[in-house]
């Protein structure tokens, strides 16, 4: 069967690399279609939903390059990077055209702002035909983190089960529940598509090891979905996180964390403080729970209402 994604198409047994034209904009996103020789599931992979999360972008480019129709049972669609304007602007969280966070704008609006149209295009052209969705993130330019993967619990029981099992195949030790509805993967789950959002790397950097970790995880999930041949390996050292507790900045200023990603904290233990530009402490933050520190803002600059620390509670 032909694979068609907007203006791009690949017949059975064909691989096509080109630019996906985002509906109702002049944006063209690098995109790869691999239409396998054998039947199977359709998997969508996006890297770079946020512009400064580099291991996921590089892994998306590599998996798009490596996969060939002979290797694939089913179909794989890769966007690399999805948020090309943010990537080129080296802009964290936001799309430069309208200052919106693409991962808060799903399912999108056809006639909305630039970011809302970007979301709408993926909902309409990719999620609509997907059997599974992987959204590859990392800590953004100002975020440090320990690798973790978030799966949606807002879809059907079956969607939640497949999402959790696949997330457990990423080779990542922290697997967290999510009830987000306006992000990429939550929106897909509400439309019956299981998936997850993974986080590897951060602070505006990327290493070969992080990309290799991503490549291992993506291929292992493709094996779990029977898109690639071979047995998926199950990770036996996973901590399943029931709840992620985000702590948010109450002021602009300078941020001084006292915890590091991957560390454990006790309830009421101090996690950091914000000082004003004269060095005076204006806010202090304490952990609401016993748990593991999943991410910490790594920039000195902090902006009111931004997340500063997330603590996972088992």
Question: Contact positions toward Zn ion, by CB under 5 A?
Answer: 50, 53, 137
| Of 87, 91, 58, nearest in space to 211 by CA | 58
Residue 277 sits at φ, ψ, to 5 deg, of -80, 5
Decide whether 10 or 119 has the Cβ nearer to Zn ion: 119
Q: Taking the complex as a whole, how short is the minimal distance between the CB of residue 197 and Zn ion, in angstroms?
A: 8
Decide whether 50 or 62 has the Cβ nearer to Zn ion: 50
Decide whether 50 or 80 has the Cβ nearer to Zn ion: 50
Are 139 and 298 spatial neighbours (Cβ–Cβ below 8 Å)?
Answer: yes
Q: Taking the complex as a whole, how short is the minimal distance between the CB of residue 201 and Zn ion, in angstroms?
A: 11
Decide whether 137 or 219 has the Cβ nearer to Zn ion: 137
Q: Taking the complex as a whole, how short is the minimal distance between the CB of residue 7 and Zn ion, in angstroms?
A: 27
- Distance from C-alpha of 171 to C-alpha of 220, rounded to nearest angstrom: 8
Q: Taking the complex as a whole, how short is the minimal distance between the CB of residue 136 and Zn ion, in angstroms?
A: 9
- Reading the block at residue 53, the tokens are 């999360």
- Distance from C-alpha of 190 to C-alpha of 105, rounded to nearest angstrom: 14
Decide whether 53 or 125 has the Cβ nearer to Zn ion: 53
Q: Taking the complex as a whole, how short is the minimal distance between the CB of residue 53 and Zn ion, in angstroms?
A: 5
In sequence order, which residues have a C-beta less than 8 Å from that of residue 208 and are 6 or more positions away? none
In sequence order, which residues have a C-beta less than 8 Å from that of residue 133 and are 6 or more positions away? 43, 44, 45, 46, 126, 127, 184, 185, 188, 193, 194, 195, 196
């Amino acid at each position: 069967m032909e694979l068609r994604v907007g203006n791009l198409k690949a017949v059975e047994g064909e691989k096509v690399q080109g630019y996906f034209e985002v509906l109702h904009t002049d944006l063209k996103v690098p995109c790869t279609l691999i239409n396998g020789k054998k039947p199977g599931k359709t998997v969508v992979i996006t890297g770079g939903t946020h512009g400064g999360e580099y291991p996921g972008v590089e892994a998306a480019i590599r998996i798009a390059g490596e996969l060939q129709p002979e290797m694939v049972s089913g179909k794989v669609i890769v966007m690399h990077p999805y948020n090309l304007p943010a990537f080129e602007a080296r802009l964290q969280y936001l799309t430069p055209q309208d200052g919106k966070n693409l991962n808060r704008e799903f399912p999108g609006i056809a006639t909305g702002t630039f970011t809302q149209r970007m979301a709408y295009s993926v909902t309409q052209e990719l999620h609509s035909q997907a059997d599974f969705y992987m959204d590859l993130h990392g800590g953004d330019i100002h975020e440090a983190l320990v690798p973790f993967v978030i799966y949606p619990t807002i879809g059907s029981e079956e969607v939640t089960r497949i999402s959790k099992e696949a997330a457990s195949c990423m080779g990542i030790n922290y697997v967290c529940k999510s009830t987000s509805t306006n992000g990429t993967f939550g929106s897909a789950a509400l439309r019956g598509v299981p998936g997850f959002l993974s986080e590897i790397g951060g602070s505006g950097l990327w290493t070969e090891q992080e990309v290799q970790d991503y490549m291992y995880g993506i291929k292992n999930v493709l094996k779990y979905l029977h898109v690639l041949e071979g047995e998926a390996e199950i990770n036996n050292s996973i901590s399943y996180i029931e709840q992620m507790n985000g702590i948010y900045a109450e002021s602009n200023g300078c941020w001084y964390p006292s915890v590091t990603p991957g560390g454990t904290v006790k309830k009421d233990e101090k996690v950091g403080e914000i000082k004003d530009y004269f060095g005076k402490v204006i806010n202090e933050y304490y952990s609401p729970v016993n748990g593991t520190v999943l991410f910490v803002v790594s920039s000195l600059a902090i902006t009111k209402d931004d997340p500063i620390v997330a603590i996972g509670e088992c």
